[in-house]
């Protein structure tokens, strides 16, 4: 009998490839012999673009990389620039940063739950995931004016304080969400189909994961308690009470359980943030050579320029107008040097290697995106398995192509 393998392209336009990921698969029947991920379909030149814009404008570029975790991109970039400048944002701004990051972690994990569920045929889980994510999108809109691409975290702090309506909605979310997570677990934890499709699928051990540079829930599912919030804390994470969730199985099911438990841990952190926000304080550094000059406020038509500030620069003070113009067109000047700053994104280590040559714009911004690195583990997870399991394995990595391709 003649034995032949078949080579097929899965993607780049395939509903289960999380955007535009292409897999070159060599199949023997339904068994995957080799798998080669091909990326780049969403490359937008974000790193090159930042070299042509001011330091401040950089925030609006990097936030678009991994579009499911915009606050993490903004935070990593701003922390790196602040390290170059040798400054720190005020305490209240740090609390707001942590708060928005943890809300974002939950919304990102919810999109993962929804899409991973959909890919395995759990349509109700998809609906639940997007339903709860919508609550958070609403919160983001109240706080930043936008559902994504916020540019809310800025060099030296955040662009404006959290409005009361945002706090109210966050509290409502904290009250509602635990029972929703219980629902997901009741639907999935012991669901025979879910177990059949996830247990023992896409297994990746700790040693191999570390060799491949894998971080985040995929690494923690293999038993390594690596979490930058604990290991190399930033924004005062060492002062918050939360646990790093690990499991030992290293399969798709362990990653699912970890993400659900991480949502609970994030809610613990959010509750602590809300407590700390009861003390007022500045949310932007005072140094006028660094702080963004414009003031924003919430009006009847949403978030926009603060009328009092506009009146001040347009009607009252020529010096204020000159300062505003200079800061907006040139922005901060950053002393020469290089730094690497990483934050723990929903997908793992999100690093920013930022170089300044002393000018008004970055010399180099390298985004070390966790999706880019974690996707390298795909062949390890799917070779030798059935093609249907490849779908579950890739979903369990939670790759976001906007971050992968940048």
Partner 1 sequence: MAERLRARFPDTIEARGEVTVLVDRDDLLDSLAWLRDDDELSFGFLSSLTATDWPGTDPRFWVVYDLRSIEHDHRARVKVGLAEGDAHVTSVTDMFPTANWHEREVFDFYGIVFDGHPDLTRILLPEGWEGHPLLKTEELGGVNTRYHGAFIPPVDTRTAT
Query: Given the rule CB under 8 A, which residues bind partner 1?
Result: 39-40, 43, 45, 47-49, 51-52, 83-84, 86, 210-214, 224, 226, 231-232, 337-340, 342, 349, 351, 353, 355, 363-364, 366, 368, 372-373, 375-376, 405-406
Least distance (Å) from partner 1 to the CB of residue 31?
23
Nearer to partner 1, 27 or 367 (CB): 367
18: left (phi over 0), alpha (psi -120 to 50) or beta: left
Nearer to partner 1, 264 or 366 (CB): 366
Least distance (Å) from partner 1 to the CB of residue 147?
27
Least distance (Å) from partner 1 to the CB of residue 20?
12
Nearer to partner 1, 107 or 378 (CB): 378
Nearer to partner 1, 191 or 376 (CB): 376
How many angstroms from the chain centroid is the CA of residue 101? Answer: 8
Least distance (Å) from partner 1 to the CB of residue 404?
9
Nearer to partner 1, 276 or 368 (CB): 368
Least distance (Å) from partner 1 to the CB of residue 162?
30
Least distance (Å) from partner 1 to the CB of residue 363?
7
Least distance (Å) from partner 1 to the CB of residue 213?
3
Rounded-to-integer distance, Cα 62 and Cα 47, Å: 8
346: preceding bond cis by omega (within 30 degrees): no
Nearer to partner 1, 40 or 281 (CB): 40
Spell out the alpha helix ranges (H) of 149-251.
164-188, 192-198, 206-211, 217-220, 228-231
DSSP states of 53-65 as a string?
S-HHHHHHHHTTS
- The answer to whether 121 and 188 have CB atoms below 8 angstroms apart is no
Task: State the helix-helix crossing angle for 55-62 and 70-85, rounded to 10 degrees.
Answer: 160
Nearer to partner 1, 43 or 186 (CB): 43
Nearer to partner 1, 57 or 297 (CB): 57
Rounded-to-integer distance, Cα 20 and Cα 40, Å: 8
Dihedral sign for Cα atoms in the order 343, 345, 349, 353: negative
Least distance (Å) from partner 1 to the CB of residue 382?
16
Nearer to partner 1, 92 or 347 (CB): 347
Rounded-to-integer distance, Cα 109 and Cα 265, Å: 12
Nearer to partner 1, 39 or 395 (CB): 39
Least distance (Å) from partner 1 to the CB of residue 241?
19
Q: What is the largest CA-CA distance in the chain?
A: 89
Rounded-to-integer distance, Cα 305 and Cα 295, Å: 6
Nearer to partner 1, 83 or 92 (CB): 83
Rounded-to-integer distance, Cα 40 and Cα 57, Å: 24
Dihedral sign for Cα atoms in the order 285, 265, 127, 218: positive
Rounded-to-integer distance, Cα 338 and Cα 364, Å: 9
Least distance (Å) from partner 1 to the CB of residue 355?
6
Dihedral sign for Cα atoms in the order 80, 82, 83, 89: negative
Least distance (Å) from partner 1 to the CB of residue 368?
4
Q: What distances in angstroms separate CA 349 from CA 49, 171, 344, 402, one per listed residue? A: 23, 29, 5, 16
DSSP states of 88-146 as a string?
---HHHHHHHHHHHHHHHHHHHHHHHHHHHHHTT-HHHHHHHHHHHHHHHHHHHHHHSS
């Amino acid at each position: 009998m003649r034995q032949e393998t078949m080579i097929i392209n899965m993607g780049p336009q395939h509903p289960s490839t999380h955007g535009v990921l292409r897999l070159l698969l060599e199949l023997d029947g339904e068994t995957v012999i080799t798998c080669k991920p091909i990326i780049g379909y969403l490359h937008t030149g974000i790193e090159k673009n930042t070299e042509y814009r001011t330091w401040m404008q950089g925030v609006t570029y990097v936030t678009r990389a991994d579009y499911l975790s915009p606050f993490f991109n903004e935070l990593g970039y701003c922390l790196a620039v602040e390290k170059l400048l040798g400054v720190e944002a005020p305490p209240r701004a740090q609390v707001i940063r942590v708060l928005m990051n943890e809300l974002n972690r939950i919304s990102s994990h919810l999109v993962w739950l929804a899409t991973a569920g959909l890919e395995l045929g759990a349509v109700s889980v998809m609906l639940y995931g997007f339903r709860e994510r919508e609550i958070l999108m609403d919160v983001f809109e109240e706080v930043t004016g936008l559902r994504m691409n916020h540019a809310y975290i800025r060099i030296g702090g955040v662009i404006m304080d959290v409005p009361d309506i945002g706090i109210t909605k966050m509290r409502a979310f904290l009250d509602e969400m635990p029972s929703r997570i219980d629902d997901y677990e009741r639907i999935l934890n012991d669901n025979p189909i879910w177990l059949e499709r996830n247990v023992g699928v896409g297994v990746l051990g700790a040693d191999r994961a570390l060799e491949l540079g894998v971080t985040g829930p995929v690494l923690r599912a293999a038993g390594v308690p690596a979490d930058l919030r604990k290991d190399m804390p930033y924004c005062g994470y060492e002062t918050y009470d939360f646990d790093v969730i690990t499991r030992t199985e290293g399969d798709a099911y362990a990653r699912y359980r970890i993400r659900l438990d991480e949502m609970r841990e994030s809610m613990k952190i959010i509750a602590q943030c809300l407590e700390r926000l009861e003390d007022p304080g500045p949310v932007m550094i005072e140094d006028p050579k660094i702080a963004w000059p414009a003031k924003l406020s919430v009006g009847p038509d949403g978030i926009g320029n603060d009328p009092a500030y506009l009146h001040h620069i347009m009607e009252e003070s020529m010096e204020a107008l000159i300062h505003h113009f200079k800061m907006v067109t040139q922005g901060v000047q950053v002393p020469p040097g290089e730094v690497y700053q990483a934050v723990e994104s929903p997908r793992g280590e999100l690093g920013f290697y930022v170089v300044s040559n002393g000018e008004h714009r970055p010399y180099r911004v390298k985004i070390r995106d966790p999706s880019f690195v974690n996707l390298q583990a795909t062949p390890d997870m799917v070779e030798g398995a059935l093609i249907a399991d490849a779908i579950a394995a890739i979903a369990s990595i939670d790759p976001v192509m906007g971050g992968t391709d940048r």
